[in-house]
């Protein structure tokens, strides 16, 4: 028998949506399709009522929530009214999504904070060496490396080539012996360029360097496999393709690296006895020569997580990841590809300067356009939303878009 989305989520609990879908399908009367199973068919327009009355092609900026995430947050809030426990752990789900071990993933406030903590765990900038990044890495990370450069660290930023890509030859030339860290984005927020992470990791490791990768523009919408790549560190905020929110992100650290890392900061959740510490300061405490004694946790979480995560956002994000895995990342990518091709063909045909590689399979198509904000009136008239920056416009279709949305956009944007 079909069930409402809210009731479905309550019954599903912490089980994956994929398995719950299967059980609901088996129980449908007359072989009909349940609401849960129907929600995995793309385009999943009914799952995203918040964008029903516009053409939202801006998932790479701030992705709307799906209905399961909304229901999960409502259930969490209702539980909090009576101080009940309504949170769901998301680290294991995210680990499955990127093919990591569950104990190699922990929480951080943002992708950038994850990258910063990695550099601190490596002793940068004080320990010296070289950091290699590139022009298509997250622009917010440029500030950190600018400051490290001012403190004497050797930082090399590899430029784009004439095809708006980062060539492996240029990375090969930059990653010299003595390079400590290679820091890149798997998928560029600027133009959707996708690194060959396996080749890059092999190159970096051959020179003794470790690799950090920002996967915020790929996890949940492009296949990610940290083990197959051989990547050492990865960070991912949840407010984009994972359909979570700001202030909640994941950090992956290859656990075999822990012995060569230092703790980048100290927080009480890094101790095994934070709830019942060994104290020598209060009445009835045993005598001691120090006021406090901790027992540290020697794990990825023990090194990098210092406090509780944002539990409400975690609950919503866990529901979203379940839904994403129920649909399948490969299926999402295949569904999106004809829309990307239509964007590439249409924009190039109109004469726009497309700076996204022609064969890209990532969710971003970008055009270089001086004073791109001037495009806003023509798009607004058609209720089209994309990203407009000073000198580029970025289009990023998602699971609720279809070819009609692409045609509306192409008609609305007109000619350069």
Mean pLDDT of 391-407: 98
- Give residue for tokens 């990127």: 98
User: How much is the mean pLDDT over the chain?
Assistant: 91
Mean pLDDT of 102-116: 97
**At residue 3, does pLDDT exceed 80?**
no
Q: Which domains does the chain possess?
A: 1-35 (no CATH), 91-322 (3.40.640.10)
Question: Do the beta carbons of residue 147 and residue 184 sit within 8 Å?
Answer: no
SS (H, E, C) the chain: CCCCHHHHHHHHCCCCHHHHHHHHHHCCHHHCCCHHHHCCCCCCHHHCHHHCCCEECECCCCCCCCHHHHHHHHHHHHHHHCCCCCCCCCHHHHHHHHCCCHHHEEEECCHHHHHHHHHHHCCCCCCCCEEEEECCCCHHHHHHHHHHHHCCCEEEEECCCCCCCCCHHHHHHHCCCCEEEEEEECECCCCCCECCHHHHHHHHHHCCCEEEEECCCCCCCCCCCHHHHCCCEEEEECCCCCCCCCCCEEEEECHHHHHHCCCCCCCHHHECCCCCCEECCCCCCCCCCCCEECCECCCHHHHHCCCCCCHHHHHHHHHHHHHHHHHCHHHHHHHHHHHHHHHHHHHHHHCCEECCCCCCCCCCEEEECCCHHHHHHHHHHCCEECEECCCEEEEECCCCCCHHHHHHHHHHHCCC
**At residue 8, does pLDDT exceed 60?**
no
Mean pLDDT of 241-270: 96
Q: What is the pLDDT of residue 88?
A: 77
Q: What is the pLDDT of residue 306?
A: 84
Mean pLDDT of 115-125: 98
**At residue 403, does pLDDT exceed 80?**
yes
Mean pLDDT of 82-103: 89
Order of strands across the sheet that contains 154-158: 105-108, 249-253, 233-237, 210-214, 179-185, 130-134, 154-158
Burial of 61 (0-12, 13-18, 19+ CB in 10 A): middle
- State the pLDDT confidence band at 151, using cuts at 50, 70 and 90: very high
HSE on the CB side for 357, CA within 13 Å?
A: 19
| Alpha-carbon torsion angle 321, 323, 328, 334, nearest 10 | -110
Question: Do the beta carbons of residue 124 and residue 153 sit within 8 Å?
Answer: yes
pLDDT in tens, 19-43: 333 333 333 334 444 565 667 899 9
- State the pLDDT confidence band at 84, using cuts at 50, 70 and 90: confident
CB atoms within 10 A of CB 131: 24
257: helix, strand or coil: helix
pLDDT in tens, 366-377: 999 999 999 999
Give the C-alpha distances (Å, rounded to integers) separating 335 from 25, 178, 341, 343, 365.
22, 43, 11, 14, 16
pTM to 2 decimal places: 0.90
Q: Token pair of 88, please?
A: 């769901």
Mean pLDDT of 208-234: 98
């Amino acid at each position: 028998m079909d069930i409402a989305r809210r009731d479905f989520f309550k019954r599903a609990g912490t089980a994956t949506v994929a398995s719950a879908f299967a059980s609901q399908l088996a129980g449908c009367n007359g072989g009909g399709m349940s609401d849960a199973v129907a929600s995995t068919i793309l385009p999943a327009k009914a799952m995203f009522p918040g964008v029903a009355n516009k053409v939202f092609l801006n998932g790479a900026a701030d992705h709307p929530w799906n209905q399961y995430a909304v229901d999960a947050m409502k259930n969490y809030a209702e539980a909090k009214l009576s101080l009940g426990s309504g949170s769901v752990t998301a680290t294991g789900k995210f680990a499955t999504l990127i093919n990591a071990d569950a104990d190699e993933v922990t929480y951080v406030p943002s992708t950038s904070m994850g990258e910063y903590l990695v550099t601190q765990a490596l002793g940068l900038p004080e320990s010296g060496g070289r950091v290699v990044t590139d022009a298509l890495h997250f622009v917010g990370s440029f500030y950190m490396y600018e400051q490290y450069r001012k403190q004497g660290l050797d930082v090399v930023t590899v430029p784009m080539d004439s095809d708006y890509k980062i060539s492996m030859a240029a990375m090969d030339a930059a990653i010299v012996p003595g390079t400590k860290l290679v820091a890149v984005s798997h998928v560029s927020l600027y133009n959707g360029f996708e690194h060959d992470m396996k080749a890059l990791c092999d190159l970096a490791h051959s020179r003794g360097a470790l690799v950090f990768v920002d996967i915020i523009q790929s996890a949940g919408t492009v296949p990610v496999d940290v083990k197959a790549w051989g990547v050492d560190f990865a960070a991912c905020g949840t407010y984009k393709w994972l359909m979570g929110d700001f202030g909640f992100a994941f950090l992956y650290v290859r656990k075999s690296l822990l012995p060569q890392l230092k703790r980048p900061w100290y927080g009480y959740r890094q101790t095994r006895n934070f709830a019942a510490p060994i104290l020598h300061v209060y009445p009835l405490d045993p005598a001691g020569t120090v006021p406090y004694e901790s027992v540290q946790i020697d794990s990825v979480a023990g090194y990098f997580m210092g406090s509780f995560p944002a539990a409400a956002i975690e609950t919503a994000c866990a529901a979203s990841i379940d839904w994403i895995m129920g649909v399948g990342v490969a299926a999402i990518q295949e569904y999106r590809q004809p829309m990307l091709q239509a964007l590439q063909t249409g924009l190039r045909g109109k004469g726009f300067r497309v700076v996204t590689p022609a064969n890209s399979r990532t969710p971003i198509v970008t055009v270089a356009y001086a004073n791109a904000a001037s495009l806003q009136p023509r798009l607004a008239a058609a209720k089209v939303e994309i990203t407009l920056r000073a000198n580029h416009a970025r289009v990023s279709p998602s699971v609720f878009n279809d070819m009609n949305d692409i045609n509306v956009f192409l008609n609305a944007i007109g000619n350069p």
